[in-house]
Structure 1
Amino acid sequence: MIGLLWEGRGMRGHCFSFMLTVLFLGTLLTTFIWYMSNDSHVEPHRLPAPKKTEKRAPSVSSDSCNDCSHVEPHRLPAPKKTEKRAPSVSSDSCNDCSHVEPDKLPPQKKTEEKAPSVSSDNCKGCSKVINKVLEHYSQTWTKQEENYLNFRSQLHTRCRGSDRAILTQANAPVGSKIVYDGEKKVREVTPELFRTFVKESPFSNKTWDTCAVVGNGGILTNSNCGNTIDSTQFVIRCNLPPLENEFKAHVGSKTDIVTANPSSYMKKFGGLLGPRRPFADSLQIYGNSMMLFPAFSFLDSTPSCLRALYSIEDFEIPIQPVLLNPGYVQSLTALWRSKGLKEIRLSTGLVVTSLALEICTNVHLYGFWPFSNHPHGFQPLTHHYYDDQKANHLHVMPSEFQLLLQLHSQGVLRLHLGQCGEQ
């Protein structure tokens, strides 16, 4: 009995020890499971990546991302994206680009260099030049009598246009030599050539009060200067310009002298080698004016100018053909070069303006504007008021214009650059 009781106690002791062991192991296992379930997803070494992404976030432009908080960090190569976009920033699309680093903006620097040359008035590179010209152009113009008389005296003394501007039977007798002004060629005056000269200069001992020299610049388009030009006593035009229809209101029609360079009719009328009636008919708009031919500028100018002269005679056109004296042109060239003009040849416009200053008391210039944009508004202009054919490379129109502008500023002559009635 006692043995049984002792054996029972022994079994209970083993059970109790076993239960304590199981309880201890269960507690340990539970603690381990709890610890692992709470800490296994947080690894300290993975935290720098979100912090690094947060530092890059400000590099995303507000122009391209209104709300970037939903973007995963590994999808934001922000620095590369910013570097790609920086060159496309221009002054037109960026009101405040001070935050952009200079070393990322080579295109921006290039844009800034070009910006001053571009005007909002469709004028590329001309606004600065034109504004500089207008600084010297006074619309409240006043004639300076002393300056005018001084310049006129220089022309009369050195060039004598009133007597020498055109070839006459008085200044170029038979047997005399004519030296071409455009090349080193000489032509003797034969009886046949002598017959084509007028007997005497139509300008000797004559002075007109008001004269208009009308160039063909595109600035005359829509100028409404026709009536103003026609109101002057003496009108000089250049290179057989059109005067009829839509042009008359802006350029007028009165003509006392019109120049006729071979280039203005040879191509249009087949060199006058065929039927010449169309050429003769085209001259009717100039009435009984004088037609000035530069027959002795170059050797090949002579036959073309003489064919035109003979056409006028054959068809009994009331125009008086006259031949420009190359000696006069050479004298003018020397005078203008002494005043700073450097070019191969004087333009027809400058030649007839010089003549006008000698034979007219008040000289007005129209259509003299060598730039491709209008001085008031910068709108594009055609080269001529009737076409857009460019100037001969032998002439330097801006340089000539600068000298004419000086004479305007000095009150010697008057340039008209706007619409008539507004000056």
Structure 2
Amino acid sequence: MRKQLSMMANLLCLGCLLSAFIWYTFEESLEFHRPLPQRSASKPSELCKGCKEAIDKVKKLYNQTWKKQEENYHRFRLQLNINCNGSNNGIITQENTPVGSKIVCDKDRTVIPVTPVLFKAFIKENPFSKKRWDTCSVVGSGGILTNSGCGKIIDSADFVFRCNLPPLENEFKNDVGIKTNLVTANPTIFINKYGSLTGRRRPFADSLHQYGNSLLLFPCFSFGFSRGVCQRAVYAIEDMKIPIQPIFLNPLYLERLVKFWKSQGLKEYRPSTGLYITSLALELCETVHLYGFWPFSNHPDRLFPLTNHYYDNVPYNARVHSMPNEFYHWVQLHNKGVLKLHLGDCKSGQV
């Protein structure tokens, strides 16, 4: 009997150690590490299907010598402001969404009543009202940023937008910078990476420290199921006293934005994070610089392979987003002098 109890105790201890090891391994796996870069030219057989033709088309369209065209810029900015008005209506606030009102999700049309609990999570006033910046960097997460050396020039802007909680520290800092004034967080990140925030929230909270006291923009009201996980994210930020400021994207703004871009010839199911952030930046900033926007899996110069993101190779959902079509619109706006699209390495001056 004593021998059996001893064996059970040993098994129990072994189980505890195994559980601890699994959890430690899981937490370690949450860290991002840059995929190994490949800078040599690709053979024709290694290029993605249709990429050579598409890249050649972009290089013919893309104007290397860029100059801001004030008339084109102000015309496009006015169109955005009239049709979308992101500078005033892009964010849900306690001023524009009072207790007792209803939020209609822009995709599945779920109606969400604004309760006192939900209302408390809204920022009191619009952080963009009557504010403008001279220069803004909008930083995508494309693999084109790998070894680009663009970190310092990105950080030199007055306001820096970033997409979907990207890693900035350690080996990434030189290429993407670290300054952040606004960073977005898609609810699917909370679901897929942080287990819907139903368990331990420390890894999520720790990941936010690199963004300092920036604005954290949630597009939480496109689908009804997103509300719960977004509220848990807000609770985690409050409970752990993270200095970041959560704000919610207004679904009415997204609806208007989709209609506007359809009128510009962009017909897709859902705008990407880069699309709505760049649109917002064009209303708020005098000069907008885009970095990390490149939808192809080969570099524009020597055609060597690129990972989808500078920190991983997870593909985007092509059934939902149309990245090449969005990108061609950025090229057109670049050529018109409305914004500056950076496709080269900053360290070599090819920006």
Question: What TM-score does the superposition give when structure 1 sets the normalisation length?
Answer: 0.71
Choose which of 298, 323, 327 in structure 2 pairs with 1:401: 327
Written as runs of structure 1 = structure 2, the 5 A alignment for 1:318-333 is 318-333=243-258
Matched, 1:410 2:336: yes
Higher mean displacement: 125-134 or 234-243: 125-134
Structure 2 partner of 1:46: none
Choose which of 63, 77, 92 in structure 2 pairs with 1:167: 92
The aligned amino acid for 2:69 is Q
Structure 2 partner of 1:123: 47
**Residue 185 of structure 1: CA displacement?**
1.4
**Residue 119 of structure 1: CA displacement?**
5.5
Structure 2 partner of 1:192: 117
The aligned amino acid for 2:47 is C
Matched, 1:237 2:177: no
> What is the DSSP-based 3-state SS (H/G/I as helix, E as strand, rest coil) of the residue aligned with 2:91?
coil
Residues 91-121 of structure 1 deviation map (CA, whole Å, 9 limit, x = unaligned): xxxxxxxxxxxxxxxxxxxxxxxxxxx9548
Aligned-pair identity (%): 60
Contact 1:121 1:378 in 2 (8 A): no
Residues 366-419 of structure 1 deviation map (CA, whole Å, 9 limit, x = unaligned): 000001111111111000010010102300100111111111111000100010
> What is the DSSP-based 3-state SS (H/G/I as helix, E as strand, rest coil) of the residue aligned with 2:286?
strand
Contact 2:295 2:324 in 1 (8 A): yes
**Residue 349 of structure 1: CA displacement?**
0.6
Determine the C-alpha separation between the residues in 2 that align with 1:217 and 1:398: 13
**Residue 176 of structure 1: CA displacement?**
1.4
**Residue 175 of structure 1: CA displacement?**
1.4
> What is the DSSP-based 3-state SS (H/G/I as helix, E as strand, rest coil) of the residue aligned with 1:295?
coil
Contact 2:190 2:229 in 1 (8 A): no
The aligned amino acid for 1:422 is Q
Written as runs of structure 1 = structure 2, the 5 A alignment for 1:3-402 is 120=44, 122-124=46-48, 125-392=50-317, 393-402=319-328
Determine the C-alpha separation between the residues in 2 that align with 1:329 and 1:168: 15
Determine the C-alpha separation between the residues in 2 that align with 1:128 and 1:399: 15
Contact 1:121 1:379 in 2 (8 A): no
Residues 131-173 of structure 1 deviation map (CA, whole Å, 9 limit, x = unaligned): 1111111111011000000010011111111111110011111
Contact 2:183 2:215 in 1 (8 A): yes
Structure 2: 5+ residue runs without aligned partners?
A: 1-41
Contact 1:408 1:415 in 2 (8 A): yes
**Residue 271 of structure 1: CA displacement?**
1.4
Matched, 1:422 2:345: no
The aligned amino acid for 1:195 is K
**Residue 190 of structure 1: CA displacement?**
1.2
**Residue 192 of structure 1: CA displacement?**
1.2
Structure 2 partner of 1:63: none
> What is the DSSP-based 3-state SS (H/G/I as helix, E as strand, rest coil) of the residue aligned with 2:192?
coil
Determine the C-alpha separation between the residues in 1 that align with 2:119 and 2:190: 24
Residues 277-313 of structure 1 deviation map (CA, whole Å, 9 limit, x = unaligned): 1211111000000000111011111111111111001
> What is the DSSP-based 3-state SS (H/G/I as helix, E as strand, rest coil) of the residue aligned with 2:160?
strand
Determine the C-alpha separation between the residues in 1 that align with 2:126 and 2:268: 29
Q: Note closer, same or farther for the CA distance 1:149–1:185 as it changes in structure 2 (3 Å cut).
A: same
Residues 177-236 of structure 1 deviation map (CA, whole Å, 9 limit, x = unaligned): 211011121111111111111111110111000000000001001110000100001000
Computed over aligned residues only, the root mean square deviation of the Cα atoms, in angstroms, reads 1.3
The aligned amino acid for 1:400 is E
Determine the C-alpha separation between the residues in 1 that align with 2:95 and 2:172: 39
Question: What TM-score does the superposition give when structure 2 sets the normalisation length?
Answer: 0.85
Determine the C-alpha separation between the residues in 1 that align with 2:189 and 2:195: 11
**Residue 267 of structure 1: CA displacement?**
2.1
Residues 326-346 of structure 1 deviation map (CA, whole Å, 9 limit, x = unaligned): 000001000000011111000
**Residue 123 of structure 1: CA displacement?**
2.4
Structure 1: 5+ residue runs without aligned partners?
A: 1-117
Structure 1 partner of 2:9: none
Q: Note closer, same or farther for the CA distance 1:289–1:416 as it changes in structure 2 (3 Å cut).
A: same
Q: How many residues align?
A: 306
The aligned amino acid for 1:307 is R
> What is the DSSP-based 3-state SS (H/G/I as helix, E as strand, rest coil) of the residue aligned with 2:255?
helix
